[in-house]
A and B are shown apart, each in its own frame.
Chain A
């Protein structure tokens, strides 16, 4: 922890929102942009203070988002340091994509209350506010400690601890061979570490994948209910919600706005967006609703496409939406005679929104689809305690993966133990931070617990 290194965090609350802000503060904050920001007007030598720039954030050779950004040079900023604010499209993947990009290019994740703390230390906040700032930092301190204990429930923390223990075993072996060269104790050779390293990396990647599940659990799956007018979209919404939230009516076009609701089905939180029916119209209000429907579809991860099983459609009933969306066809009104032949599958499900028939299958499909990541990583029973839900934890795992890969690569390059131990030790520390463990004399304790050495 130093005084004016560049810190970064998502400044807007997690969850939905049209625009989100990633904020950086510290000496050289604007330098971070050089590696990740492609300004629309061509290269910028030096970002002028308090001026907006438009361009793309690029990370690992792919475009994360189109953004606006603004540099506020010290001392004319909130923290009296150089501050950069990046205004990106809201939503988890873009916000954290942008954050990842800056963290990979010289910034570090800010501690709770750190922006405010700096603002105070640099005299931006006056003395009378000092105690309030301390309360704030302290509240975060206590909350983080309490949360730290809760956040990592049995399953996940055991797995992180096991990874850390593997690294500790390597480090103890390396330390043993260095500190007790005269003892011919069983030391791991580099080939063993390289082999074990592949398994360890796979396990840590699996842990990282749980972060995706964690995000789903925290933010919910954005689900758009779409379909032709009167296919029963709002009835389906109500059926899922189990209450009369959306106004249903026989008149087509009743739903003119996009309604959003949150609900949990089979443990999966959904953010349901009921949309205006898709049809040609000249009604200006309905047109506005249609615009929003298209936007909802663009933002959705899951599309529940509702078709009326009793209607003979002229065009093919099934639309293909974007690549990133998962689409499930709901053939509604299956309690009544169906006009078409359907080939039922997990993606084409007969439902009666009115009677609730078929909803179970739908829920099971959603769970299977959005929590597969969890099954891949060996979690059967979904609980928040089993997956990575904190951005800080995700970053630390990611960091640890990088370090372990570096260490193994060093061994493969035939570097000496003292060199390879450097990244391995860093990985050990990163995993320790996740578990809230302080670095003590673990390596040394391990040597004396496992090996019989000494004069």
Chain B
């Protein structure tokens, strides 16, 4: 039985441990504090645009995040419903404490997982990993990890999920504390170990706003934001009918010219502007100082007040992340309508931490130069719980010895990992729908159709869930086929068509063609279609709603989906042509020098990945193809 050591119990670590354990590996998850498992140190929400897609994909692959948030959410909304099926995005406010408790217990209940409190300070390899370029023949492999006490735990693979804890510093005003997020102990020694192993470290920065007391907020001055009446769960396995809880509202207010004036007056006291912070920040979560400076002509910025949980009075102030000193933060927050008398419980702060250059990793998130060493989450340069969890799952599966490589054409998970390891990132990376080339294929509604077979192959999807999945899939296909082959007469269709302001038929038409009309959908058709009796004997009945949604989308957008499908197939073809990891690009005649250097540095796994490296042209790829052909030809001739 393979033994996997997972370092860190955040969102990446949890999914990595669960995935590895579920496919049969023995897992020890090391966390500096077991009370910090699955902590949400920043915003109290899961999902949102593109991130919601990731959660659905994690669920489709057999991960835990979707089930966890379904169990503990306080408010749920489907965003972007007017903007098209590709970008429907689910977002839910989480009860932070209950989320942590849920996830900790999920880990505890997994037979193959041991949770261990302790700080891993060293990763041990054999032979010793030296600085510089190791020879591929003598590539070191991890053999064990050492904790601060000196205890050595032997293992076959390590997944580093250290989040923002490596050499972390929290800063606001002139206050600098050497801690991880939320005052947690940070890790001081692992960074040096990674550097010695030949990893390039970068220093990134992110931040979080203040937490304030509910009783000090005047909600009458804010707009209320309620959840959806009919909630859609994240997990394909959660029955929406089982979700009956009362949803808690969020609130919206805005900064004022006074807010901006206060910030401008004291900007020099922000750790971000005083020179205290040197790390690279992200454009995805700008501080309020950044917003005011960079968008000086904007009169106001939105501020969202969100609950942190049901059993706490703390509220999260989204949009007001800052590194200003306490006294300025007080004045800034109090200049916002509704927050005039606000009681700040925890001040906003910025956090700096070490992460690696993810271009040193394979598409399986394993180090290219050290066998058995995997990375996932913010250590790879990403930001966000969902991004971390998605990487954790993939790293966990690969560490456990199964190969899981999701392509850009298969999921946002694939886009995320490919972006990180192929291009790298110069700032904390956030998932966005515009990063995906085949957005119309990668919808949140069909994540299971895309990825559940991969989860099953890896061993993450139990047999009975997979059977239910196959039945759902068959049902969708059969129904689409039926709608395309069934003709409806004008006599039956026209009364409904007239009612819907849709052009009446003069002769029979296929049901599918009616569904394609912009003003109609599958629901309208089933009204007059007596044959429509969907049955799904082994699944709960809510699955039928998912089937109907799927049938409707697949028929309505058939043309556009087919177009993207063609592009995706071309992409997959080139993606499936491997490049050997030890190819000597320096000596390939005809490659441009820039291309040689880039290819040597990145060592792409296949032609597709090579094509996405900046500085590698289509002609360079042509030369590579010719070279590879020559090489195989030569080998064949030599073997004859």
Contacts and interface: CB of A to CB of B under 8 A. Distances in A.
Interface of A: 1-3, 5, 111-114, 117, 120-121, 123, 127, 130-131, 133-135, 137-138, 140-142, 144-145, 171, 175, 177-184, 413-419, 421-422, 438, 440-441, 443-444, 447-448, 452, 454-455
A354 to B, nearest CB: 55
Given A179-B432, A418-B87, 17 more contacts: A112-B619, A117-B625, A137-B590, A138-B592, A138-B623, A140-B619, A184-B302, A414-B518, A415-B84, A416-B83, A416-B85, A417-B87, A418-B433, A419-B557, A452-B301, A455-B43, A455-B318
Interface string B3-24: 0000000000000000000000
A183 B83 contact: no
Nearest to A180: B49
A133 B630 CA distance: 11
A418 B301 CA distance: 26
A179 B439 CA distance: 13
Contacts of B542: none
A407 B237 CA distance: 37
Contacts of A414: 518
B633 interface: yes
Query: Most chain-A CB neighbours within 10 Å: which of B302, B434, B592?
Result: B434
Contacts of A137: 590, 619, 622-623, 626
15 contacts: A117-B622, A117-B625, A121-B629, A130-B630, A134-B626, A134-B627, A137-B622, A144-B619, A175-B433, A178-B83, A179-B49, A418-B433, A448-B283, A452-B301, A455-B43
A114 B622 contact: yes
Interface string B546-565: 00000000000100100110
Query: Most chain-A CB neighbours within 10 Å: which of B291, B302, B518?
Result: B302
The 8 tightest CB contacts between A and B, nearest first, are A416-B84, A418-B84, A141-B619, A134-B590, A448-B283, A418-B86, A175-B434, A138-B590
A413 B556 CA distance: 14
B575 to A, nearest CB: 11
B346 interface: no
Contact of A181 (B79, B284, B611): B79
B286 A452 contact: yes
A398 B433 CA distance: 28
A137 B633 CA distance: 20
A221 B319 CA distance: 64
Query: Most chain-B CB neighbours within 10 Å: which of A2, A5, A130, A179?
Result: A179
Contacts of A121: 625-626, 629
A182 B319 CA distance: 11
Given A414-B518, A455-B318, A178 B622 contact: no
Contact of B433 (A111, A141, A179): A179
Interface in B574-617: 574, 589-590, 592, 611, 614, 617
Contacts of A178: 49, 80, 83, 87, 433-434
A142 B590 CA distance: 10
Contact of B570 (A2, A182, A415): A2
A418 B439 contact: yes
B620 interface: yes
A175 B589 CA distance: 42
A454 B43 CA distance: 12
Interface string B34-62: 00000000110000011000000000000
Nearest to B304: A182
B435 interface: yes
Query: Most chain-B CB neighbours within 10 Å: which of A111, A113, A177, A181?
Result: A181
Interface in B255-308: 283-286, 291, 294-295, 298, 301-302, 304
Contacts of A133: 626
B83 A134 contact: no
A316 B626 CA distance: 66
A418 B302 contact: no
A131 B433 CA distance: 43
A155 to B, nearest CB: 26
A187 to B, nearest CB: 11
A443 B611 CA distance: 20
B217 interface: no
Contacts of A120: 626, 629
Contacts of A413: 518
A454 to B, nearest CB: 5
Contacts of A142: 592
A340 to B, nearest CB: 63
Nearest to B591: A138
Contacts of B590: 134-135, 137-138
Contacts of A448: 283-284
B82 interface: yes
A1 B623 contact: no
A5 B85 CA distance: 31
B83 A417 contact: yes
B253 to A, nearest CB: 13
A188 B310 CA distance: 39
A419 B89 contact: no
A73 to B, nearest CB: 22
A138 B589 CA distance: 9
Contacts of A438: 614
B573 interface: yes
Nearest to B637: A127
Contacts of A177: 83
A413 to B, nearest CB: 7
Contacts of B80: 178, 181
Given A127-B630, A134-B590, A454-B286, A1 B83 contact: no
Given A181-B79, A422-B563, A454 B622 contact: no
A111 B619 CA distance: 8
B84 A2 contact: no
A235 to B, nearest CB: 51
A441 B283 CA distance: 13
A419 B439 CA distance: 9
A444 B432 contact: yes
Query: Most chain-B CB neighbours within 10 Å: which of A131, A145, A175, A419?
Result: A419
B422 interface: no
Contacts of B87: 178, 417-418
A454 B42 CA distance: 13
Interface string B427-469: 0000011110001100000000000000000000000000000
Nearest to B425: A441
Contact of A454 (B89, B283, B440, B617): B283
B321 interface: yes
Contact of A182 (B302, B435, B589, B620): B302
A448 to B, nearest CB: 4
A270 B622 CA distance: 39
A1 B434 contact: no
A183 B302 contact: yes
B152 interface: no
A149 to B, nearest CB: 13
B285 to A, nearest CB: 5
B560 A443 contact: no
B295 A452 contact: yes
B621 interface: yes
B618 interface: yes
B116 interface: no
B247 to A, nearest CB: 17
A182 B432 CA distance: 14
A175 B432 contact: yes
Given A422-B563, A452-B301, A2 B518 contact: no
A145 to B, nearest CB: 8
Contacts of B432: 175, 179, 444
Contacts of B321: 455
A261 to B, nearest CB: 38
A444 to B, nearest CB: 6
A25 to B, nearest CB: 15
A418 B556 CA distance: 14
B634 interface: yes
B83 A3 contact: no
